Amino acid sequence: MPKLLVCNVCVLWQHSNERERREREREREKHTHTHTHTHTRTQTDGLHCTLHSAHFLALCCTHSSSAPSASVLALCHCSLVPFSTPAAFSRHGRRLHTIMAVRHYTIDFKLCGPADHAATVRGLQSIFQEQEMTETVHDTEGHGYLATFIGKNGRFAVMRVHSHGLVTFDLQCCKGDDQAQVDNLLNALEKKLRTLLSGKIQRVKRLPALRRGEEIDRYWPTADGRLVEYDIDEIVYEKESEYQNIKILHSQQFGNILILNGDVNLAESDLPYTQAIMGSGKEHYAGKEVLILGGGDGGILNEAVKLKPKMITMVEIDQLVIDGCRKHMRKTCGNVLDNLKGDCYEVLVQDCVPVLKKYAEEGRTFDYVINDLTAVPISTAPEEESTWEFLRLILDLSIKVLRPSGKYFTQGNCVNLSEALSEYEELLGRLSCKVDFSKEVVCVPSYMELWVFYTIWKK
Amino acid sequence: MPKLLVCNVCVLWQHSNERERREREREREKHTHTHTHTHTRTQTDGLHCTLHSAHFLALCCTHSSSAPSASVLALCHCSLVPFSTPAAFSRHGRRLHTIMAVRHYTIDFKLCGPADHAATVRGLQSIFQEQEMTETVHDTEGHGYLATFIGKNGRFAVMRVHSHGLVTFDLQCCKGDDQAQVDNLLNALEKKLRTLLSGKIQRVKRLPALRRGEEIDRYWPTADGRLVEYDIDEIVYEKESEYQNIKILHSQQFGNILILNGDVNLAESDLPYTQAIMGSGKEHYAGKEVLILGGGDGGILNEAVKLKPKMITMVEIDQLVIDGCRKHMRKTCGNVLDNLKGDCYEVLVQDCVPVLKKYAEEGRTFDYVINDLTAVPISTAPEEESTWEFLRLILDLSIKVLRPSGKYFTQGNCVNLSEALSEYEELLGRLSCKVDFSKEVVCVPSYMELWVFYTIWKK
């Protein structure tokens, strides 16, 4: 038995796939004498066990931080492979195809005045020498000091001293690189710079590493263009339909999240979205006729059927959205998508525009029309014009099929995009039928920004 | 009148500080003939007006996107200065001291197999040549292709083709650099790479630029270590007290946010936090005696006095927190911090430990004890041990002053730090007095992560 199995963490290897375990055992035995062995506990990833040899081999175990105690820690990502061909495994030990990924670390020193380039650079030399990093100094044509460094295992660093009081440091490491070594380098550098720049420092900022090129993308920026990292740990469903790219990703805290064409649509945590777009609990659905436009995640349908309406008609264009959500968003849709027809509802897998036109011609009307199709466009650039046109078309048709006492519910966009929201409100004033509206700001958990919802009715 | 004042946007300069306006006018007149002039509408920052000369001058106006329409756009950041000495102005046109800041752009191409280094690099050469960027190719000792580029105005780029299917591109620009030029470079590069790598691309990811070294720091990572960017546009209050660093920053959507030692404590949007730590509306405060530990933002006190309790005692150690929140967090604290004593409350500006000890000795008890002091530590590393000790001390003392029918409310931490929460729950089982507890997961708007709250009572 290889020596490293003494470790309480690594012993969990024995619970993973038997064939893979044996393969790994053989690999370990080959390299066990030259291994060094480090455990680190990180804020984000639970417990790491890193092993590295003098040659090229690395083993990195990351254990789920959501496990209730150390004794039942689950193995979530493992690789025991040469540095030059990293591999990854899913939460359940399934081998993902070979991937290349980079962790990009930054440390920035904001100063209250210019730094002494020469002294700063000289003071750091021993750190880079210890790390066996080869330095190249660049001619910046008067824009401060700039040096790049090449290190072991593909490590690459940029050190920049800007003329007017900013020192930036970047370190890019390949995923699987020894985490303890990388942390040591960053800590040593930060400590040394704090000494060298002491008395001049206004702020030191060391951000969580950017994870670039990873199998699972964790960055889904907000509608108002801010960078946010989600706690996504698994790709649950991915399809390219006739209409859009459909992803369902698993977030540790939000549950499964439906993402359409890169936009976070709804997570299993997001009942506040569904409640808001149904009138925030202030409406009486019992005995009413309801029309849902879109809503393929089944959230609105699932909540609405509980309120004993007379009939709900839902018109969703994309069967693949329904298929994915029926299986992977059950906290949202319950069992309402298991059949396209129930006691008090029917799901039409169709484009809603011809359906709305037909209803308008027939004079069919509804007590509630809920538009869950698309958010207000965030721009009025030419390429967005068609979205505004579509929004107006849907609005006009929806108001036509709305009873005089009826209500039309829809989302707007994030509260920060006030220009886009104003434009939408102006559009409401230019409809063929006069309407009035109210709005509400709601916190939808997985959105990471406050969202505006509208209630519209005939004047 | 300089030509550029024809622009509807720039004409707003006339509303800013008169002396500064004249200074700028003079600067403009000197350079007006060599200016070029670009308007861009961005998702995040509203409308930009950028002017640049062949020499060194740039003017950049960013207009608040929260203004309702173009006619009342407010001027929020402006600089008309040589590139080598950028200056900044606050939302209200006040000059901030000279700052250096960098926008760091990334574009990553994740591929399904190795890329052809030589062909990719050759294909991009014309773009870098057009941008007059000087290339340095580095020896990576077998870790793929790596080139750095120095461009105009301190621009610096890194292009890396990793061996196993990842191409990363970084561009660092000084703030105030021509946004349209930078966007053009990034767009051209992305377009060309999409062509060169076509058929091999699994994902293209272009993140919102990292803002490094800016006057106002927008990055306040979550408790579980994720990178999130806040929509912060103003530093409202900053003090270094005897106990901690106190910041109150303004967020467009969340209102003012209190940040203590770098931890987001509470925003004006965060009534759900206050409601949760008071028992989520399920408790009857009328006629009761309440003890609040901490709570210097005044949120709990403000909500509690509305419920007509017999008496609330609040023990907050830091007068400077109270001072800042009284003035800048009025949506949270109302007027309860205007005086330290009211009809049914008293605020003691003291360390709560001796106060609790005194109450315990005197046999004084409360119906509700609300601990708003500190979150559960996220680590059990030696340096955190003292926090755990403190938590246990407070818990033991609080249970001592709790009536047999009383309840103790406190926050835990974010839902993802399940190990830390388990450790806390184990601690609850080891108190000198037997207790039981329930917990609730709550979405606190400004936290950008779900948060756990505890209710604890005597068995």
Question: Poorest-confidence range of A260-269, A273-282, B118-127, B341-350?
Answer: B118-127
> A29: helix, coil or strand?
helix
What does the alpha-carbon distance between residue A302 and residue B339 come to, in Å, rounded to a whole number? Answer: 50
pLDDT tens across A350-387, in order?
999 999 999 999 999 999 999 999 888 766 677 777 88
Co-location of B309 and B437 in the same domain: yes
Q: Does A69 touch chain B (CB under 8 A)?
A: yes
DSSP secondary structure code for residue A131 in this structure = T
Residue B272, domain member (yes or no): yes
Rounded to 5 degrees, φ, ψ at B162 are -75, 155
Which chain B positions have a beta carbon within 8 Å of A98's beta carbon? Answer: 164-165
What does the alpha-carbon distance between residue A220 and residue A259 come to, in Å, rounded to a whole number? Answer: 9
In percent, the amount of chain B with pLDDT more than 90 equals: 71
- Binned at pLDDT 50, 70 and 90, residue B94 comes out as very low
- The residues of B assigned a catalytic role are 372
Which chain B positions have a beta carbon within 8 Å of A69's beta carbon? Answer: 419, 422
Closest alpha carbon to A225 in A61, A448, A1, A34: A448
CB of A313 within 8 A of CB of A295? no
Residue A213 has pLDDT above 60, yes or no: yes
Rounded to 5 degrees, φ, ψ at A84 are -75, -15
B330-335 LR contacts (CB < 8 Å, sep 24+): B331/B255, B331/B256, B331/B268, B332/B266, B332/B268, B332/B270, B332/B274, B332/B297, B332/B298, B332/B299, B332/B302, B333/B297, B333/B298, B333/B299, B333/B301, B333/B302, B334/B298, B334/B302
- The residues of A assigned a catalytic role are 372
Rounded to 5 degrees, φ, ψ at A116 are -80, 100
If you average pLDDT over residues B187-216, what whole number do you get? 96
Co-location of B14 and B62 in the same domain: yes
What does the alpha-carbon distance between residue A107 and residue A105 come to, in Å, rounded to a whole number? Answer: 7
Rounded to 5 degrees, φ, ψ at B458 are -75, 135
Co-location of A108 and A191 in the same domain: yes
CA of A101: which chain B residue's CA is closest?
B166
Question: Which amino acid, residue A93?
Answer: G
Cβ of A174 and B153 within 8 Å?
no
pLDDT at A175: 86
Co-location of B335 and B207 in the same domain: no
pLDDT at A117: 86
**Dihedral sign computed on CA atoms, order A268, A269, A275, A278:** negative
**Which residues 394-423 in chain A show a CB within 8 A of chain B?**
414-419, 422
Strand B402-414's sheet: what is its strand order?
A: B341-342, B345-349, B311-316, B289-294, B366-372, B402-414, B450-458, B435-443
Domain containing A18 equals: 3-96
Domain count, chain A: 3
Cβ of B230 and A229 within 8 Å?
no
Cβ of B213 and A108 within 8 Å?
yes
pLDDT at A13: 34
Distance from CA of B214 to the nearest CA of A (A): 8
Output the domain CATH number for residue A452. Answer: 3.40.50.150
pLDDT at A9: 32
Cβ neighbors of A273 (< 8 A, separation 6 or more) are: A266, A299, A411, A442, A444, A447, A451
- Binned at pLDDT 50, 70 and 90, residue B78 comes out as very low
Q: Does B355 touch chain A (CB under 8 A)?
A: no
Closest alpha carbon to B421 in B378, B450, B388, B380: B378
pLDDT tens across B263-303, in order?
999 999 999 999 999 999 999 999 999 999 999 999 999 99
pLDDT at B128: 95
CA of B232: which chain A residue's CA is closest?
A226
Q: Does B263 touch chain A (CB under 8 A)?
A: no
- Count residue pairs from A and B with Cβ separation < 8 A: 247
| Neighbouring-strand partners of residue A248 | A237, A258
Q: The tokens of B217 are what?
A: 């720091």
Q: Does A8 touch chain B (CB under 8 A)?
A: no
Which chain A positions have a beta carbon within 8 Å of B443's beta carbon? Answer: 269, 272, 443, 445
Question: Which amino acid, residue B165?
Answer: G
Give me the residue label for tokens 């990034």: B186
Residue B224, domain member (yes or no): no
What does the alpha-carbon distance between residue B395 and residue B432 come to, in Å, rounded to a whole number? Answer: 10
Residue A22 has pLDDT above 80, yes or no: no
Cβ neighbors of A278 (< 8 A, separation 6 or more) are: A285, A300, A303, A304, A368, A370, A409
Strand B255-260's sheet: what is its strand order?
A: B232-240, B245-251, B255-260, B263-267
Q: What average pLDDT is seen over chain B?
A: 82
Closest alpha carbon to B140 in A104, A183, A148, A126: A148
Show which of B28, B62, B96 is a domain's final residue. B96
Write the DSSP assignment of B333-382 as a string of letters.
HTTTTSSSEETTEEEEES-HHHHHHHHHHHT--EEEEEEES-PPPS--SG
Calculate ∠ Cα A297-A300-A305, nearest 5°.
Answer: 120
Cβ of A224 and B43 within 8 Å?
yes
Residue A405 has pLDDT above 90, yes or no: yes
In this structure, chain A runs to a length of 459
Residue B225, domain member (yes or no): no
Co-location of A305 and A422 in the same domain: yes
Co-location of B348 and B384 in the same domain: yes
Cβ of A226 and B230 within 8 Å?
yes
Show which of A96, A127, A161 is a domain's final residue. A96
Q: Which residue among A44, A68, A165 places its CB closest to the CB of B225? A: A44
Please give the helix or strand (H or E) that residue A410 lies within, else none. strand A402-414
Q: Which residue among B143, B219, B416 places its CB closest to the CB of A65? A: B416
If you average pLDDT over residues B418-444, what whole number do you get? 95
If you average pLDDT over residues A283-294, what whole number do you get? 98
Rounded to 5 degrees, φ, ψ at B257 are -120, 130
Q: Does A30 touch chain B (CB under 8 A)?
A: no
Q: Which residue among B153, B379, B415 places its CB closest to the CB of A41? A: B379
Question: Poorest-confidence range of A90-104, A234-248, B162-176, B186-200?
Answer: A90-104
Give me the residue label for tokens 């990576």: B140
What does the alpha-carbon distance between residue B80 and residue B53 come to, in Å, rounded to a whole number? Answer: 11
Residue B23, domain member (yes or no): yes
Torsion of CA A62, A64, A69, A72, to 10 degrees: -80
Q: The tokens of B365 are what?
A: 């008890």
pLDDT at A23: 54
What ipTM, to 2 d.p.?
0.80
Co-location of A124 and A174 in the same domain: yes
Co-location of B55 and B120 in the same domain: no
pLDDT at A377: 78
pLDDT at B98: 56
If you average pLDDT over residues B65-80, what whole number do you get? 27
> B44: helix, coil or strand?
coil
For A119, counting Cβ atoms within 10 Å of its Cβ (0-12 exposed, 13-18 middle, 19+ buried), the class is: exposed
Which chain A positions have a beta carbon within 8 Å of B230's beta carbon? Answer: 226
Residue A253, domain member (yes or no): no
What does the alpha-carbon distance between residue B80 and residue B231 come to, in Å, rounded to a whole number? Answer: 24
Q: Does A207 touch chain B (CB under 8 A)?
A: yes
Output the domain CATH number for residue B182. Answer: 3.30.160.110
Torsion of CA B375, B378, B384, B389, to 10 degrees: 50
Show which of A188, A212, A236 is a domain's final residue. A212
Rounded to 5 degrees, φ, ψ at B425 are -65, -35
Cβ of B99 and A164 within 8 Å?
yes
Distance from CA of B124 to the nearest CA of A (A): 20
CB atoms within 10 A of CB A237: 20
CB of A329 within 8 A of CB of A295? no
More confident residue, A320 or B24: A320
CA of A154: which chain B residue's CA is closest?
B143
CA of B147: which chain A residue's CA is closest?
A148
Chain-centroid distance of CA A346 in Å reads: 32
Cβ of B100 and A227 within 8 Å?
no
Q: Does A100 touch chain B (CB under 8 A)?
A: yes
What does the alpha-carbon distance between residue A394 and residue A377 come to, in Å, rounded to a whole number? Answer: 14
What does the alpha-carbon distance between residue B284 and residue B307 come to, in Å, rounded to a whole number? Answer: 8
Q: Does A435 touch chain B (CB under 8 A)?
A: no
pLDDT at A74: 23
pLDDT tens across B300-334, in order?
999 999 999 999 999 999 999 999 999 999 999 99
Co-location of A109 and A84 in the same domain: no
Which chain B positions have a beta carbon within 8 Å of A148's beta carbon? Answer: 136, 138, 148, 158
**Which residues 270-299 in chain B show a CB within 8 A of chain A?**
272
CB atoms within 10 A of CB B129: 11
**First CA to last CA across chain A, in angstroms?**
80
Distance from CA of A418 to the nearest CA of B (A): 5
- CB burial of B249-278 (b: ≥16 within 10 Å; e: otherwise) equals bbbbbbbbbbbbeeebbbbbbbbbbbbbbb
What does the alpha-carbon distance between residue A179 and residue B284 come to, in Å, rounded to a whole number? Answer: 51
Co-location of A417 and A444 in the same domain: yes
Residue B221, domain member (yes or no): no
Q: Which residue among B41, B97, B166 places its CB closest to the CB of A101? A: B166
Question: Which amino acid, residue A251?
Answer: S
Residue A242, domain member (yes or no): no
pLDDT tens across A132-144, in order?
999 999 999 889 9
Write the DSSP assignment of B275-325 as a string of letters.
HHTTTTT-S--TT-EEEEEE-TT-HHHHHHHTT--SEEEEEES-HHHHHHH
| Neighbouring-strand partners of residue A106 | A170, A207
Q: The tokens of B128 are what?
A: 């870098």
Distance from CA of A228 to the nearest CA of B (A): 4
Co-location of B421 and B453 in the same domain: yes
Co-location of A46 and A115 in the same domain: no
What does the alpha-carbon distance between residue A176 and residue A301 come to, in Å, rounded to a whole number? Answer: 45
Residue A256, domain member (yes or no): no
